[in-house]
Structure 1
Amino acid sequence: MAEPSINALSPQHWKDYELIDCGDFEKLERFGELILIRPEPQAVWDKLLPESEWQKLHHIKFKGRSATAGEWVKKNSKIPDRWHINYQNKDVSIKLRLALTSFKHVGVFPEQAVNWDFISSKIKKFKTPNPKVLNLFAYTGGASLIAKAAGADTTHVDSIKQVVSWANENQEISNLKDIRWVVEDALKFVQRELKRGKTYNGIILDPPAYGHGPKGEKWKLEDQIKEMMKEVVQLLDPEEHFLILNTYSLGFSSIIVENLIRGAYPQVKNLDIGELYLKAQSGINLPLGVFGKFSSV
């Protein structure tokens, strides 16, 4: 068995996003012109910048009432609750609407830009016209927009109607159209597509550690990811394809992701595994998940 390369990948050259510093379970980051302080469970070390610098720089801070829910505190009332940022690589550009949610999220996971670059570059190399791409656990649709902008016939699946509506708004402000929106449990959708004999050239999975489907279906990563992987690889076009599996779970290593992919798809080629991270302006690196990806091109 050939040993895959193990990489650590961080987005580069994103003008509208910057991690400034992180530590003491928080991160200081810029989205467009706004600088936010948010909780970050991975940041178990000390901050590199002094607390006075954090307080001077930030416009908004999330103060949690619990591990997940809380409220945003603004320095002044003129700071908006919603704003837009842009993302551009050598192939495509998109626009995203951000918002201050009660769960510390703002509508984008910046480390995913590394995967966005992979998606657009692979789609551009495909010989298949209008290649089909399936985005599962698709959230507000950054990867879906990238795939569509690169020329793919794109299907976006998420179990939460509100975030699918948010993704549709991102499609509109990005001047894109005709993404297929599906509000459904991801595993059920995959099983139905298999029965229909459907295939896809690209599949993207970014599953949460825990989640629920629209009809109360329970998702627990370690209990169901093996079944999901064995089902989803059957949807891959055998000739031209790529697959990305990204996990944000403190208990998942790159070796686990490698074993899951090899177990589900023994014929895998060009396998790349490793960690996603954000490099802070202060010099510290923030790990934000483990990835596994492969492609036929």
Structure 2
Amino acid sequence: MISLLTPRHWKDYELIDCGDFEKLERFGNITLIRPEPQAVWAKQLPESEWQKLHDIRFKGRSATSGEWIKKNARTPDRWHITYKNDDISIKLRLALTSFKHVGVFPEQAVNWDYISETIGQFKTEQPRILNLFAYTGGASLAAKAAGADTTHVDSIKQVVTWANENQEISGLKDIRWVVEDALKFVKREIKRGKKYNGIILDPPAYGHGPNGEKWKLEDHILEMMQDVAGLLDEEEHFLILNTYSLGFSSVIVENLLRGPLSDPQNLETGELYLQATAGSKLPLGVFGKVRKIG
């Protein structure tokens, strides 16, 4: 089944408008203007409204780096937001980075709902969850808050430290933090005979491991999916794959899930997007997921 999914009940986040290669977003009480290469259409709101509403604007020196320009010097560089659904409540520390990111990908809240809902349905008393390419840990927090034994893997030490801060301000503890190349970690877990009830993959198009390992989505995703399939608990599991590469479609993701899994149940693929208050839909990658409830 192909779906279009967007977060629907996040009070601390709002995509106000997008277009002309930019997006206007509210995170808590701070509103940002950031570059958005997917927003090839025209803005719905006039530029004067964008200028009035925003607190900080990202000015890029290149497609990925630049500096933040504040309208008011007292606007903080760091602040917290909260995410809640019917099952969990987590907090995230946001910050202005030189790469236009702030520490969260809001469209992923759809997957946090799926994770917490599925863990709540499992018969396994404490499901084991593995989050790969885990960034600042939104999915890890969602799994832990839902009661799972959670392992968080990312190759960048600084973002794992950031994720640990998010755990602390969320009032959680005992997430297992691993700074390692995701593919190497998965292969070692297979050798150890480990099994997981849930695996989340959010791989970048390009990346590097802590020891210079190179990751390119098209070159490595098949090997990764074949290995990950061997880590899934046969009786009860879920698997989520997100991709942001512009060359990947939901059909490609479906094939990547069907190939290694002999009997994928409740298979769903589609596109994640953010619904702007002004009317436009901003596409932000494709997903595929399967789950089996024991």
TM interval, shorter chain, is over 0.9
Look up the match of 1:219.
215
**How far is the alpha carbon of 1:266 from its aligned partner?**
2.8
The count of aligned residue pairs is: 293
Residues 37-69 of structure 1 show CA distances to partners (whole Å, capped at 9, x for unaligned) of: 000011011111111100110000000001111
- For 1:15 and 1:222, the matched residues in 2 are separated by 36
**Which of 266, 280, 286 lines up with 2:262 in the alignment?**
266
Residues 8-42 of structure 1 show CA distances to partners (whole Å, capped at 9, x for unaligned) of: 00000100000000001100000000000000011
**How far is the alpha carbon of 1:264 from its aligned partner?**
1.4
Look up the match of 1:296.
292
- For 1:166 and 1:73, the matched residues in 2 are separated by 23
**Which of 99, 109, 116 lines up with 2:112 in the alignment?**
116
- For 1:266 and 1:62, the matched residues in 2 are separated by 46
Look up the match of 1:182.
178
**How far is the alpha carbon of 1:182 from its aligned partner?**
0.1
Q: State the superposition RMSD in angstroms.
A: 0.5
Residues 150-181 of structure 1 show CA distances to partners (whole Å, capped at 9, x for unaligned) of: 00000000000000000000000000000000
Q: Percent of pairs identical after alignment?
A: 78
- For 2:156 and 2:245, the matched residues in 1 are separated by 20
- For 1:202 and 1:246, the matched residues in 2 are separated by 14
Q: Does 1:167 align with 2:126?
A: no
Superposed, 1:92-103 pairs within 5 Å as 92-103=88-99
Q: Does 1:208 align with 2:232?
A: no
**How far is the alpha carbon of 1:267 from its aligned partner?**
1.1
Look up the match of 1:49.
45
- For 2:221 and 2:37, the matched residues in 1 are separated by 23
The amino acid of 1:246's aligned partner reads N
The amino acid of 2:166's aligned partner reads N
What is the TM-score when the length of structure 2 is the normalising length? 0.99
- For 1:279 and 1:6, the matched residues in 2 are separated by 18
Partner of 1:182: helix, strand, or coil? strand
For structure 2, the residue ranges without an aligned partner over 5 or more in a row are none
Larger mean Cα displacement after TM superposition, 181-190 or 256-265 = 256-265
Partner of 1:63: helix, strand, or coil? strand
Displaced runs of 4+ in structure 1, greater than 3 A? none
Q: Does 1:81 align with 2:77?
A: yes
- For 1:263 and 1:240, the matched residues in 2 are separated by 19
- For 1:219 and 1:49, the matched residues in 2 are separated by 39
The amino acid of 2:235's aligned partner reads E
Q: Does 1:21 align with 2:36?
A: no
- For 2:229 and 2:132, the matched residues in 1 are separated by 13
Look up the match of 2:126.
130
Look up the match of 1:104.
100
**Which of 156, 173, 177 lines up with 2:152 in the alignment?**
156
The amino acid of 1:43's aligned partner reads A
Q: Does 1:249 align with 2:222?
A: no
What is the TM-score when the length of structure 1 is the normalising length? 0.98
Partner of 1:37: helix, strand, or coil? strand
